[in-house]
Amino acid sequence: MECHYCKSTMVRTKTAYAINKNGYHLVIDDVPAWICQQCGEPYFEGEQVDIIQEIVKSVDSKIVKVQLARP
Ligand SMILES: [Zn+2]
């Protein structure tokens, strides 16, 4: 596999996937991914991305309930 940005070789490994949303930030450790040896650009595969989207949807629907509570 070749890096989209610098055309260097990518290696299969695990890395953290960070999600920065308005209202919360989520970091999932140890997500399988291709990482560029040159520039460090990660490439996540569709299956992992789909699951992460499900997690985000689930958090999105519940986070409001937490944040609506009076300080
Ligand atoms: Zn690269």
pLDDT tens figures, 18-36: 999 989 999 999 999 999 9
In angstroms, what is the span from residue 9 Cα to ligand 1's centroid? 7
Model confidence at 71, in pLDDT bands (50, 70, 90)? confident
Q: What is the pLDDT of residue 13?
A: 97
Q: Residue 69 pLDDT > 80, yes or no?
A: no
Is 44 inside a domain boundary? yes
pLDDT tens figures, 37-67: 999 999 999 999 999 999 999 999 999 888 8
In angstroms, what is the span from residue 67 Cα to ligand 1's centroid? 39
The residue segments making up the domain with residue 60 are 10-67
In angstroms, what is the span from residue 15 Cα to ligand 1's centroid? 15
CA atoms within 13 A on the CB side of 63: 12
In whole angstroms, what is the distance from residue 50 CA to residue 9 CA?
25
Q: What is the pLDDT of residue 58?
A: 96
- Please count the structural domains in the chain: 1
Is 3 inside a domain boundary? no
- Bridge partners of 14, per DSSP, are 32
Is 4 inside a domain boundary? no
H-run or E-run covering 63: helix 46-67
Is 37 inside a domain boundary? yes
- For residues 9 and 37, is the Cβ–Cβ distance under 8 A? yes
